[in-house]
Structure 1
Amino acid sequence: MRIAVITESEAQESRVAATPETVKKLAALGATLVVQAGAGLKSGVTDAEYEAAGATIAADAATALADADVVLKVRRPNAAELKATKRGALVLAIMDPYGADAALKAMAEAGVSSFAMELMPRITRAQVMDVLSSQANLAGYRAVVDGAAEYGRALPMMMTAAGTVPAARIFVMGVGVAGLQAIATARRLGAVVTATDVRPATKEQVESLGAKFVAVEDDEFKQAETAGGYAKEMSKEYQAKQAALVASHIAKQDIVITTALIPGRPAPRLVSEDMVASMRPGSVLVDLAVERGGNVAGVKPGKVVTTANGVKIVGHLNVPGRLAATASGLYARNLFNFLETMIDKSAKTLAVNWDDELVKATNLTRDGAVTHPSFQPKPAAPAA
């Protein structure tokens, strides 16, 4: 059972898919670990540390991938990586499958069995494998840190001999894992925090963290959550009412953090140009949804933009990767916990149960075909 870990090819990706901790655990299960030279450097892990944990260092990605039974990655493999990967190998990564038909087809044609870690079902058994939660938690924390750095003023109220410094006002839009961590972090730093979300269940969560909940609480709001715990897309009428409430609130805020995402769709636009224009000079918006089009009008992927009225809009990409060492540690554990379920502990060999609910929920391609029902090619329309 050979497991390969390679350097991520995307320039902005600083994370790595295994750490010395998970290398040791996998080796104890009978695996041979091969890590590409330098794969962990951006996360603060040296080749020597991998070797000490029991891994072999390969000079390049092709050498690491040669004859690998399992490939652990952060991002889905590119064409060159697929070419170097043998047919039948398991590939575990954050696959970003929505709208990526060509990439899924390429993985199917390469004959790999690919698994999208972000499709892990949110059930008790899978909590330790939930990469969305582990990475979003860090993104929420980092959003507050980045917002505070751009704001340039103190967050807590301070009583000094020279006068009182008022507490900063922070507004969090979207109360999922990232939003809750942003609220908790902002509160720990002494800010006055408010938050909003379309899901009724979040009101109690927001208030339990010492923040104030802001929302139009009508009948539609009371039913605005899917069975899986995700936000539903709201009606145009509700969006208009909520936008009016937010518009009046946002003008008074010092830092706004947006986190709203809808699986498989572009990020909803929450902050309009007029809302941005209403904010005071020096205030900051941090958009965690920028990779899906952004929640904030005027956000630029990978940029910090200053508007004509002196408001900063922060659009950092790969925010969890801005805490690479911590993010890699959590992500590597998520991968290990999932891969462990596919290993026969006594025989120390791969033994994938294709009927396991976790496998079925995350498996994208197998045996040359796209297997996941949500991403299978649609049949061609009949000729007229």
Structure 2
Amino acid sequence: MSGTKKPNYILPTIVIAQFLCTSLWFAGNAVLPDIVKSFPTETNLLANLTSMVQFGFISGTLVFAFFAISDIFSPSKVFFICGIAAALFNLGICLELADVHLLLLFRFLTGFMLAGIYPVGMKIASDYFKDGLGKSLGFLVGALVLGTAFPHLLKTFTANFPWQYVIFATSGLSLIGAIAILWFVPNGPFRTAGQKFDFRSCFNGFKNHHFRSAAFGYFGHMWELYTFWAFLPGMLLLYNTKHAHATLNIPLFSFLIIASGGLSCMIGGLLSQKFGAKRIATIALSISGSCCLLSPIFLFSGSVYPFLIFLFCWGLSGTADSPLFSSLIAKHAPESLRGTSLTLVNCIGFAITIISIQVINLLAKEMNSHYLYMVLAVGPVLGLWALLTGIKRSR
């Protein structure tokens, strides 16, 4: 491929492949009520199952960053190999496992391979779309959000079938996505050959205050987002439990609320072209942070409509800023280590999600549930501080 000319199918292919492969992320969560039946004494299985995927992702991103894999090797081939391996490890939880540690190991390994899918997919997009990266990543992260939500929808459609069908389907989708990238998406025209790993060079981006501002804004966003996603089915279940008349379809509404964030990612990416990525990210983070603070009012509302409208508002605002942070990070990262910089920031961000999930899980046993999710506001508040400080310095 010469110059900057690129086929029109490149972005749709990356987006679809990202969606298909990231459907593995919450596959275990979607079938959690069925898995729990095999491990009735595991009271913390939701938090631990989610945390192991995140921990695997973090470990994977550390390895990928340490060896600068997506910068040295072809990102498309890395994506392909990891998509295949993740699909196989995902299938592992369908085995008759007597030890919960084996279940957690398979989720860890799936998360490890996702490190070669999500950030590498962004790396591939940044190699093709130097201009308008916010829009491109808006569609790409939107695909991640839809992929994350999709197992809940599969669970709705396969309610009368064994839970393993959800796992079979998500693994099959990952295989298709991996092959699509290998066949249709070669190295991009803006790809810069990576250099050998230098531990200090990984953190060079943080010397740039624009990069630092976006990265810390992203960290605040991550404190909130995955914990909200992980505990969303529990919020819906609690509403059904507290209101005898409530019959909310938990898998369906979990899908719809999480998936709504995919739409906001795309809209946010488009708006960033006119108003700037940092401005739109600041607005989105402000709204989602407000949702955390207002959660005691709306999560325990007696009427179903304010309850659902509030959750959809949270779902929309909670993800709208994600691709914008990624585009800002990619824009201000050192060119030859763009993929490694994205991977490293992802690694730190997902480490924060583990802490957040475990903190909420522990506090749920100690404090009034009405105020539990206000703790998530800590992330957006600190993220906004980082963003606003960066804006002032850039003037």
TM-score between the two structures when normalised by the length of structure 2: 0.19
Higher-helix-fraction structure: 2
Higher-strand-fraction structure: 1
Task: Work out which of the two has the higher radius of gyration on C-alpha atoms and give 1 or 2.
Answer: 1
Q: Of the two structures, which has the highest relative contact order with CA contacts closer than 8 Å and spacing of 6 or more?
A: 2
